[in-house]
Amino acid sequence: MSSWLTRQRKQALIDLSREAGLRQDEDARKDDIVEALESHLQKNATRLSRNASFEPYYSTRKTPSKARSSSTMVGVTSDDSEAKSVVKGRGRRPTAVKQEFGDDTGASSPAGPSTTTLPRPEPSGPLTQRTPARPRRETHLPPSPADVANLAEYETTQFYAGLNDLYSVSGIPETLASVRETCSSVTGVQMAFQLLEAAGLQRATLPWVYLTDVKLARGFQGPVLSVYYPDLFRLLTAGFWLPTLLYASTSIFLPALLAYFFNLTMRDVRRHGAVVRVARYNIDPLTFNIVKALLTYMVYGQLIGANILGSENAATVRQAMFGGHQGVLIGCYVCIIASLYEAAQRKT
């Protein structure tokens, strides 16, 4: 097992595995992560050895072989030098030759053998000359299917990592979390029904008028898009303001006023040694929807006060709502249930 991988922290090993294209379980033990990562690095050494993140791992694996090769070369060199010295020493030994010679005049010298030492030959150069090694030709073999598969897996991992980073930087996760938090409350449920009712009322009091047709493609039989715009001139007529004010009074203003005073979310809170009454909501959603349901049933269902408010205005509001005044009552019932459910959760 590599000592460099063992010295790394667990989170660093997870990041290295992700860099190498290996998916690891963050809950696994460190020894298992090290073993799996080392096996993956050995199998993909051809590709990952070029990555700077894994250079310490492969360098530690190559160091012993270099040391052994260097020590071997040193040993071979020393042995060769010793052998050369022995050969040279043996070659330089003087040879003694026994000769019998006479002088040039033919007179014989005293009898007896004489020993003559030949002159030592001068070394003409190194005994052996090494021929230069032939340059090694690098052969570029085609990649194996395993290398191609590993490279494709690595590129895919990097692509998904880039998409994940782009998704995180765009701010979409924070926006979705904020919208989800808002919708998962009584206020979010109440606002959803209020917007639905306002859209229905706008459709009835401020209708859209045909403007022109726009061809989406060239040609005589291409698709045609009809363009409409709201008739803003209706803002100057009583046909817009009377139904709008009637709906705002029965569904917003009067329920909010009564819910502000009859607030059931008031509770005692101790602050700086004193007990203070604090309301969780400035407008109690439970009281608001109860009052709104009662007013909707009396004004639009039983037409109470139609002579004062105008039966035409009440009929316009009732027909503008999705499902009539019963649709408004259903929205109130849903908000009441949501308020009770939230209060029950806070009690527990």
- Residue 348 is predicted with a pLDDT of 61
Q: Which two tokens mark 196?
A: 């639905």
- Residue 134 is predicted with a pLDDT of 59
Listed residue (320, 160, 339, 344) closest to 246, CA to CA: 320
Give the mean pLDDT of 81-96: 44
Give the mean pLDDT of 34-57: 83
Q: Regarding beta strands 114-117 and 96-99, do their DSSP bridges make them parallel or antiparallel, or are they unpaired? A: antiparallel
- Residue 294 is predicted with a pLDDT of 96
- Residue 110 is predicted with a pLDDT of 41
Integer Cα distance of 274 and 58 in angstroms: 69
Integer Cα distance of 60 and 321 in angstroms: 76
pTM above 0.75, yes or no: no
Please tell me whether residue 325 adopts helix, strand or coil conformation: helix
- Residue 101 is predicted with a pLDDT of 40
pLDDT at 119 over 70: no
Listed residue (1, 33, 29) closest to 17, CA to CA: 33
Which has more pLDDT, 130 or 73?
130
- Residue 47 is predicted with a pLDDT of 81
Quote the crossing angle between the two packed helices 30-43 and 10-20, to the nearest 10°.
30
Given CA atoms 227, 235, 245, 243 in this order, what sign does their dihedral have? negative
Q: Which two tokens mark 260?
A: 């502000």
Give pLDDT tens digits for 216-240.
776 667 678 889 888 889 899 998 9
